[in-house]
Amino acid sequence: MTQAAYNALPEQLVALINEQLGGEAQARQLTPDLTFESLGMDSLALMELVVAAEERFGIVPSEEAMDLAPSATLAAAAHAFADAR
pLDDT for res 33:
85
- Taking the chain (85 residues) in runs of 10, the rounded mean pLDDT of each run is 55 85 71 88 92 88 88 88 74
Residue 23 maps to which CATH number?
1.10.1200.10
By residue range, what is the domain housing residue 44?
3-82
12 C-beta neighbours (distance < 10 Å), count: 15
Count of domains for the chain: 1
Task: Please indicate, yes or no, whether the overall pTM of this predicted structure exceeds 0.95.
Answer: no
Distance CA 22, CA 83 (A): 26
